[in-house]
Structure 1
């Protein structure tokens, strides 16, 4: 193949045809052709030469040039593409390092192998350009719904034609009982768009909670306009779903708007999701109230929220238990996903038995430690006392309000409680010292002897050890693994130390050791307060 006047225009025509077919810039195809011709020329003239090809965008004429760069004499390595300043004087006036000398060379005759190589270069460049265009088109469309046509199925994954390329609906992103045949039309949610080595990968979903939210946005104008907001969605794809909605217009009922006239709006979503039943629940900032709504149709007797543990206890009548849990635990699982809380459901009888067990345990504590008879110990528990510290250090009036307890009896109770606590403290401290705990940790303010003993058992025996602890190691926390929350036990968690207290103690230890400068700490806090104040000011000015 020779680049002659007969086929010069063919280059441009071919470039435009390929660009039109692949929907990419014709200039990218021409650049690919230039590169492929340059490679072919190098195989003819020598790979060490810097051969460049320029195709005129109007006439299609291909110009082959050899470029030589001026370098320092000691840096000269490639005699075919570089030359020294002295050599360059033959070709250039007053040459300097970095200058280039360009001379035109004859076009090459492309043999079969060179032509095949050129074709591969062009195809590769076109593919890269096509992938870039596809990624740029879809990267901002993640989180939206798109219509496509099923092309084929591979190992359970559905390949979908989305117009400008192909996307993948993985097996675990399909609604259970759905099956597709080639050329079926399908509505899907663009879950993720990634740029990978083999090109952009577009991942679709029909099981994502966001898919349901987007479907409601399409069916309910109030959601699209922002009058109603979807606050949370939980799905058991193809079976049941719960969706929490709130209205920012008091005259509009969010549940009624989502249901529509005679259920028309919600039914459209249900039909798209293969008959998935949808519970629409009014959102409430008060989590216990929202949870009661989320567990419908079951009736709830009582709710107890533990915010630190992100856990909630729900008490229901015996006959409502199976309804609250749902088939295979579906109802309570969806309510848990919707609220983001772990839910413990128990019947009234189970709660009563648990409370009775707690009552007996506390009664036994007071009987054993304060040398009281069972009746007197029960009086203390009934008044709300749960541990010895409360008895030892409360005001006397809180004890004298108990029937049969005068000042003298109250003082005796407190003396017994304090004696027992001091004995326990001395025992714990002795055990800690035997394990090698240093005075620096014993004298640290805020740690009780029992806490020091627990730290020693965990290998924390010096103030330096304590200062290196993370707050969650002391106070405990929660870790999410594969969507499930797992409890991390803290060393000081049994003593009621929360994350904030743990952070404060660790920071105090670091300051005492000189690891942290209190002035730097104060400066950071001031900066944070200023930033918060600025944010608040912007928020206040926004409506104006």
Structure 2
């Protein structure tokens, strides 16, 4: 058959040009010939196809069972005929002989050709998949073929890759024919061939760029221990050195910043902070929050949280533009970070000067009795030992502990609410001045979900300064005072009522426990560039109208 002539040369040529192993091609040819032979001669016949390296062709062999009484000559052979092929043949033996492949004809040859083409295609796909799967986390360069629905299709030579929109650096624009670089993130084996996913936004790409630029990293003298990115804007990496004589930060920066600048140019101007790694998490977080300087840290190892206390002049630097710095430091260190200024800490301390009679749940009569025994302000209760509390006349130890818990709850909630507001509106002079005028009762209004600073301002103008004042209003009255629709006013009142009922149903201990959620809220609000956007949709119409 013409199709199977010079197969040896064909195998060598295809193997060389396509990079396919000779054994894979031979196996494909054997499978193809066997498929055609069975289709032509019948599937009930025992046929095998074997490659002959000597003749350079696929040879067909048929096997028949030796029998004394011949019944089916397509699967059996008589003992007499078998002895002509093998004198030692015995009944029950299987004896094989070469078949004439020329009988297969032209149609069978075309079928074989299609099977071979399919096998070769599958082999090529498998080779490409294995090649790129072994190159995960490797930096590659290709040409942009096209941009499709925001995804960039890249020609890597042997295959195509895709850079999804989420893996691109925001603001970058590419067109067909542009060269583009990225790291191989994933390789998927799909029906139409391997799909290579590249990334320019992943931390791995940043790390690989430094490996390419810094010989000390490639030689494993300097190690990048952690990395965090906000692609196209800012990144942080933490580095350490195995050699005491090699400064890891200096090695990454390079002479006059040459090495880090080379990385920055690949990332289209992304600012990169390089900080030294420390095993001690407190020291490391202090490095990670740079360029801000930390005064002191309050650590909660169980919750993996840290409260970083910074000077007032360092607060905006520690938080960073739109909360960038603290987010990156948190991601780099693996700890949840809360930034608090020295003035907020001082304000918390000042909360201890509040008279006991002003704290909800203590009562004027109890406050007067306690004042007569030296407990006149919150600070005295908070600093008292259990022994001092147990010796108070007229109160049991459990009653005094309950009063202390109420004092702690009130002062902590007050301090943290003020802290969140100061962080949240630190760039708005008018809002900061308004916050300073708020009474403790007005601060309570801000704890109601959906009630923001602008709404409190409107309520104050309408002589609604406490939660009780708000609940005394009817929905019609509130709608009239605040220029709201009846539905909006009713929703505010319903939310406030539900909030108060929920708080009253909780014990003091449960409220103290819930301060953890308030603490998370402080961090979230301190990172919010546009705080008023957090208001619930139902109250936004009022907020935007101020």
TM-based fold match above 0.5: yes
Deviation at 1:268?
0.8
In the other structure, the counterpart of 2:100 is 106
In the other structure, the counterpart of 1:383 is 383
Question: Which of residues 165, 180, 183 in structure 2 aligns to 1:171?
Answer: 165
In the other structure, the counterpart of 2:207 is 213
Change (3 A) 1:294 1:420: closer
Change (3 A) 1:177 1:367: closer
Residue 141 of structure 1 aligns to a residue whose secondary structure is coil
RMSD value, Cα: 4.1
Q: Distance in 1 between matches of 2:396 and 2:197?
A: 68
Residue 143 of structure 2 aligns to a residue whose secondary structure is strand
* Deviation digits for residues 193-239 of structure 1 (CA, Å, limit 9, x no counterpart): 34444443332211111111111112112222222211111111111
Deviation at 1:382?
4.6
In the other structure, the counterpart of 2:62 is 66
Deviation at 1:415?
8.7
In the other structure, the counterpart of 2:153 is 159
Deviation at 1:365?
9.6
Q: Is 2:222 aligned against 1:228?
A: yes
Change (3 A) 1:322 1:420: closer
Residue 284 of structure 1 aligns to a residue whose secondary structure is coil
Q: Distance in 2 between matches of 1:88 and 1:357?
A: 112
Q: Is 2:120 aligned against 1:126?
A: yes
Deviation at 1:305?
1.9
Deviation at 1:351?
3.4
Residue 120 of structure 1 aligns to a residue whose secondary structure is helix
Question: Which of residues 36, 43, 49 in structure 2 aligns to 1:47?
Answer: 43
Q: Distance in 2 between matches of 1:419 and 1:493?
A: 17
8 A Cα contact 1:246 1:254, kept in partner: yes
Residue 245 of structure 2 aligns to a residue whose secondary structure is coil
Q: Distance in 2 between matches of 1:321 and 1:105?
A: 89
In the other structure, the counterpart of 2:27 is 31
* Deviation digits for residues 157-205 of structure 1 (CA, Å, limit 9, x no counterpart): 3333334433332222122233334443333212223444444333221
Q: Distance in 2 between matches of 1:47 and 1:112?
A: 19
TM-score (norm 2): 0.62
8 A Cα contact 1:12 1:30, kept in partner: no
Q: Is 2:413 aligned against 1:416?
A: no
* Deviation digits for residues 125-161 of structure 1 (CA, Å, limit 9, x no counterpart): 1122222222333333222223333334333333333
Q: Is 2:242 aligned against 1:243?
A: no
In the other structure, the counterpart of 1:528 is none
Deviation at 1:51?
2.9
Q: Is 2:333 aligned against 1:373?
A: no
Change (3 A) 1:259 1:421: closer
Point out which structure has higher relative CO (alpha carbons under 8 A, 6+ apart).
Answer: 2
Q: Distance in 1 between matches of 2:334 and 2:393?
A: 44
In the other structure, the counterpart of 2:310 is 316
In the other structure, the counterpart of 1:335 is 329
8 A Cα contact 2:66 2:89, kept in partner: no
* Deviation digits for residues 279-317 of structure 1 (CA, Å, limit 9, x no counterpart): 111222222332222222233333222111122212333
Structure 2 unmatched runs, 5+: 403-508, 514-546
Residue 303 of structure 2 aligns to a residue whose secondary structure is coil
Q: Distance in 2 between matches of 1:177 and 1:335?
A: 24
8 A Cα contact 1:235 1:242, kept in partner: yes
Q: Distance in 2 between matches of 1:69 and 1:177?
A: 75
Q: Distance in 2 between matches of 1:234 and 1:321?
A: 21
In the other structure, the counterpart of 2:247 is 253
Q: Distance in 1 between matches of 2:353 and 2:120?
A: 77
Number of matched pairs: 394
* More displaced 10-residue stretch of structure 1: 369-378 or 106-115: 369-378
Deviation at 1:263?
0.7
